[in-house]
Amino acid sequence: MNILIKEKWKIYVFAYIAFLFWTFIVCYPNPYVFIRNFVRYIHFPIDVSVVDLIDAEIPDDPSEIEKFVKKLIVYEYDWTNYGVPWFVPTPKDAIIRQKGDCESRAMVLASILSAKNIPYNIKASLVHIWVEYPNKKPTKSENDDVSYISKIDGKYRLKLPDLSQWEKYILTDKEMFWDVMPKHRKIIMVSGWTFILILACFLYIYNR
């Protein structure tokens, strides 16, 4: 029994780390996908050549371009589209699939604006990412107050976001992470959590 954890505080730390590790592995069986997502999110790849992949005529007004992109890229959760809770595709991949979430739409929109030499900035809240262009009207989910990171003129700016909508953030994250998670992944996830809880309880009782 020497392999058992003796200090109770270590049991809590072990359970917490095991919980996070299991959650991550179930969500990303291939950890490289998450790392690649993070790199793409930071660098936000722009590809002006995607305009050649679009058959329809692209408008010139940026607000009309945004509407065009929303019709072109049908909204789809990453769990359904890519099999992971968070995925950052390339603009080309988003165009080919013609479906995706806010990252897909933002990358395609930014790429088209760049191809048309229309200035833009990238902004993100805790649950959303969008493209800001001249004369864009702010909305409840796309405004400076909720933004925590911006890429303006190629430089990143960080600030504390408005957390008054924290309930909305939690519900949105729950919807994107848990509600649309495939059932078999939920079963695997909960099974692992249950095993970790039972093991932690056993170690705690053993050390009483």
Whole-angstrom Cα distance, residue 71 to residue 64?
11
Tell me what pLDDT residue 158 has.
85
Domains of the chain, by residue range, sit at: 8-206
pLDDT at 1 over 50: no
Question: What is the arithmetic mean of pLDDT over 53-71?
Answer: 95
pLDDT at residue 52 is higher than 90: yes
Neighbours of 30 (CB within 10 A): 10
At 6, is the pLDDT very low, low, confident or very high (cuts 50, 70, 90)?
low
Is pLDDT above 70 for 2? no
Segment 164-169 shows an average pLDDT of: 81
Alpha carbon distance 208, 182 (integer Å): 39
Question: What's the predicted TM-score (pTM) here?
Answer: 0.86
Spatial distance between the Cα atoms of 91 and 49, rounded to a whole number of angstroms = 9
Question: Higher confidence at residue 74 or residue 148?
Answer: 74
How much is the average pLDDT of 5-24? 88
Tally of CB atoms within 10 A around 125 = 22
What percentage of the chain has pLDDT greater than the value 70?
97
Mind listing the pLDDT tens digit for each residue in 190-205? 999 999 999 999 888 8
As a whole number of angstroms, the distance between CA 205 and CA 208 comes to 5
- What does the pLDDT average to over 42-71? 94
pLDDT value at residue 96: 94
**What's the confidence (pLDDT) of residue 49?**
95
Question: What pLDDT, on a 0 to 100 scale, did the predictor assign at position 144?
Answer: 87
Q: What is the mean pLDDT of residues 81-101?
A: 96
99-151 pLDDT, tens digit per residue, is 999 999 999 999 999 999 999 999 999 899 999 999 999 998 898 888 888 88
